[in-house]
Structure 1
Amino acid sequence: MTQLLATASRSTYLPRHEPGECIGFDDFELFPTARVLKRYGMPLPLGSRALDILIVLVGRAGQVVSHRELISRAWRGLVVDQGNLRVQINGLRRALGEGAAGARYIANIPGQGYCFVAAIERSGASGPTVLPPLDYALR
């Protein structure tokens, strides 16, 4: 297995979120600065690494985020295997109920990384913004 050193690089783009910003998708609300994910208004228990990964993916919805970038965000300064990332992604998919009733949130782009593909709506001080879902055939 390939091991990667999780270090933040200057080229790594980490989304910036406004205080109080809410990113909605399906029945979920993600509050990045508060580090809370809610479904039907109830907080969902997510580990800190899974939450870090989700915040990056949702913050860059529609863009492929490399394995290296996700690892550098969730495992700052640690050497980890890509298998650790896969475990966290699978846990996120389970927590989000991906696959149930056709729900799809995280696409695997082989050899590149992962992409958040569900439609999102951002709300905050700057007003609402809606991004439509993407159609990635690869998973």
Structure 2
Amino acid sequence: MPAVSRAAIRFAHWEIRPDERLLRVRGAAVTVGARAFAVLLALVERRGQMVTKQQLLDAAWPGLVVEENNVSVQIAALRKLLGAGAIATVAGLGYQLSAEALADDAAPAPAPSVAASLHALIGRELDEAAVGELLARERLVSVIGSGGVGKTSLARAV
């Protein structure tokens, strides 16, 4: 995919300026590491689409072999800056930019969301069925687990 070349891409409370390698949150320039910026830029370039961990590793650590956990660390740092809802986890597959670009951005309309287009989570059919059965019997069901395992994606799918 071609690199983003616009001066600024604006979102609700933040903007990215790829040509300047600058991130502004609520109007103020924020310090973001080169790896986190590369991860964010890859997500912005593919907004509306799911981006695999491997694609993010290739974008931020080109030609290097690094642990997948490095992506999670950079995503966590970006969520602290942009808000927890700015980047969605697509369970077992990768990440997707959830933030919508503002209308004055001249970018083409994003492709339909991979997460939204999947009626069932890949490999989570049994979990979906189990939560669905619990919801049929109970008024309240809590989905618990470690961070990043796909609890929210599972709940949304159900």
TM-score bracket, normalised by the shorter chain, equals 0.7 to 0.9
Please give the alpha-carbon distance, in whole angstroms, between the structure 1 residues aligned to 2:4 and 2:96: 18
What SS class does the counterpart of residue 138 from structure 1 fall into? Answer: helix
Q: Name the structure 1 match of 2:55.
A: 69
1:114 aligned onto 2:129: no
* Structure (1 or 2) with the larger CA radius of gyration: 2
TM-score, with structure 1 as normaliser: 0.73
Q: 1:49-60 counterparts in 2 under 5 A?
A: 49-60=35-46
Please give the alpha-carbon distance, in whole angstroms, between the structure 2 residues aligned to 1:83 and 1:129: 32
Please give the alpha-carbon distance, in whole angstroms, between the structure 2 residues aligned to 1:35 and 1:122: 22
Q: 1:1-139 counterparts in 2 under 5 A?
A: 13=1, 15-20=2-7, 22-98=8-84, 104-121=85-102, 127=106, 138=153
Q: What letter matches 1:83 in structure 2?
A: N
TM-score, with structure 2 as normaliser: 0.65
Aligned-residue Cα RMSD (Å) equals 2.6
Please give the alpha-carbon distance, in whole angstroms, between the structure 1 residues aligned to 2:104 and 2:48: 17
Give the paired residue count: 118
Which consecutive unaligned segments of at least 5 residues does structure 2 have? 117-151
Q: Which has the higher strand share?
A: 1
RCO greater where, 1 or 2, for CA within 8 Å and sep 6 or more? 1
Q: Which has the higher helix share?
A: 2
Q: What letter matches 1:70 in structure 2?
A: L
